[in-house]
Amino acid sequence: MKIISTGSRYDIYPDDLKSYDKLPADYYVVRFAERQGFFLEKYTEFSITDAKIYGVHLEKVDKVLATFKKFNRNLGVILSGDKGIGKSLFSRLLGKKSVENGTPVIIVDSYVEGIGSFLDGINQEVMVFFDEFDKTFSDSSDDDAQTSMLSLFDGVAQGKKLFVITCNEIKGLNDFLVNRPGRFHYHFRFEYPNEDDIREYLTDTINRDYVSEINNVVDFSKRVSLNYDCLRAIAFEINTGLGFSEAIKDLNIVNIDSEKFCISVVFADGSCILNNKKYMDSFSNENLSCQLYNLNGDYAGSISFIPKNIKYNSYTRELYLDNEDVEFSYYDYDLEDEENEKKEKEFKTRGIKKIMISRVNDDRLHYVV
């Protein structure tokens, strides 16, 4: 047996008791018990199952670790973006490299009052990882969980720490965390893979016999955002011999949210009018009206169409509408009816060259990973 004394108290422990001056470089998770309080429990080693890492994950991981080494204070990193587009992979890469460099990783997967003080009491360099911080530490009127952690993120008294938090919804983070580089030096925004990313991934994962299906997946991605989870599932189904049109029917990939599209009308003289913020379900059968504007912001007319009529040009790789699928109109409330009729006639006879549709993602912040 082993006996540990604290003041006048003596506690008896099994023979496998070990004592350390510092926490060994490994993976741990914070646990809490009513009588025991907070403690650390060994956690499963971070594994990287992906044979190839896409994007600039490795570059950014190295950047974070190099900055942490140079800092004489805490370093915070926010990883934001939808599920399935790389936040967890980035975290695992960062954690794995941290342990390899001798820095323990501590996972926080639940909030208990006082957890900030416990973490602050760990007097050595560690990486502290909060997954889905916006949910686990969701603020409420009774329990301002995120605010209670601010002193921990600011502190330097008990050992320098690397704080990494992931969040799906940036609006779920406390205002004292976002745009505060003194607390969180980096904010990496993870975006959906673009056409080149999708082609690279599918070329690597789809069997050669089925590479002709890649264009069909790319065409579909013009209308619906596909994360790497979706692409992995699609590649698996295609590799069983299914064409993409058949594979997508049974997969758990549903267009439940409207995507944002830019609608542009290009005229024969090269001029263009557009609406760059229109949310729609591009597969909908319902008629959609859309106001268009000149580049200077002035109202230029309206069009209405059924989104399901949107076509895809496999040669130019663009979404478009045929003129016959669109109704044109013009009505400016500041003008008399006669003047509006004149403007509408000019609009219809101006000579439309093409009507272009493109999916827009303008949530980019600092880095795209």
Cα 305 to Cα 223, 274, 287, 321, 369: the distances in Å are 16, 15, 5, 9, 36
17 versus 198: the higher-pLDDT residue is 198
pLDDT confidence of residue 141 = 46
Considering only CA atoms, which of 367, 316, 54 is closest in space to residue 193?
54
**Does 258 have pLDDT greater than 80?**
no
**Does 276 have pLDDT greater than 80?**
no
Do residue 30 and residue 106 come from a single domain? yes
Do residue 174 and residue 49 come from a single domain? yes
Residue 224 lies in a domain: yes
Considering only CA atoms, which of 165, 178, 194, 27 is closest in space to residue 87?
165
Residue 12 lies in a domain: no
CB 58 within 8 A of CB 92: no
Strand partners for 289: 304
Given 207, 232, 250, the domain boundary residue is: 250
Given 168, 189, 210, the domain boundary residue is: 189
**Does 268 have pLDDT greater than 50?**
yes
Write the CB contacts of 144 (distance below 8 Å, at least 6 apart in sequence): none
Do residue 62 and residue 206 come from a single domain? no
Considering only CA atoms, which of 15, 105, 38, 123 is closest in space to residue 65?
105
* Residue 34 pLDDT grade (very low, low, confident, very high; cuts 50, 70, 90): confident
Whole-prediction pTM:
0.74
Number of domains forming the structure of the chain: 3
290/283 Cα distance (integer angstroms): 16
Do residue 72 and residue 157 come from a single domain? yes
* Tokens standing for residue 175: 């205002």
Domain that holds residue 213: 195-250
Write the CB contacts of 240 (distance below 8 Å, at least 6 apart in sequence): none
Residue 98 lies in a domain: yes
pLDDT confidence of residue 224 = 83
Residue 15 lies in a domain: no
Residue 16 lies in a domain: no
Least confident of 4-8, 160-164, 281-285, 363-367: 363-367
pLDDT confidence of residue 156 = 58
Do residue 58 and residue 136 come from a single domain? yes
**Long-range pairs of 337-346 with CB within 8 A, sequence gap ≥ 24:** 343/301, 344/301
CB 222 within 8 A of CB 258: no
Considering only CA atoms, which of 271, 259, 182, 250 is closest in space to residue 226?
259
pLDDT confidence of residue 368 = 35
Given 163, 189, 215, the domain boundary residue is: 189
Do residue 86 and residue 179 come from a single domain? yes
pLDDT confidence of residue 139 = 54
pLDDT confidence of residue 36 = 83
**Does 47 have pLDDT greater than 50?**
yes
Residue 142 lies in a domain: yes
Residues 201-211, mean pLDDT to the nearest whole number:
93
Do residue 102 and residue 241 come from a single domain? no
Do residue 56 and residue 74 come from a single domain? yes
Residue 5 lies in a domain: no
Task: Give percent of the chain above pLDDT 70.
Answer: 93
Do residue 127 and residue 52 come from a single domain? yes
In this structure, what CATH number is given to the domain that contains residue 74?
3.40.50.300
176, amino acid identity: F
55/367 Cα distance (integer angstroms): 11
186/215 Cα distance (integer angstroms): 36
Do residue 242 and residue 275 come from a single domain? no
Residue 353 lies in a domain: yes
83/11 Cα distance (integer angstroms): 46
Do residue 242 and residue 313 come from a single domain? no
Do residue 349 and residue 264 come from a single domain? yes
Ranges of H-type helices in 52-144: 57-70, 87-100, 115-120, 133-136
**Does 140 have pLDDT greater than 70?**
no
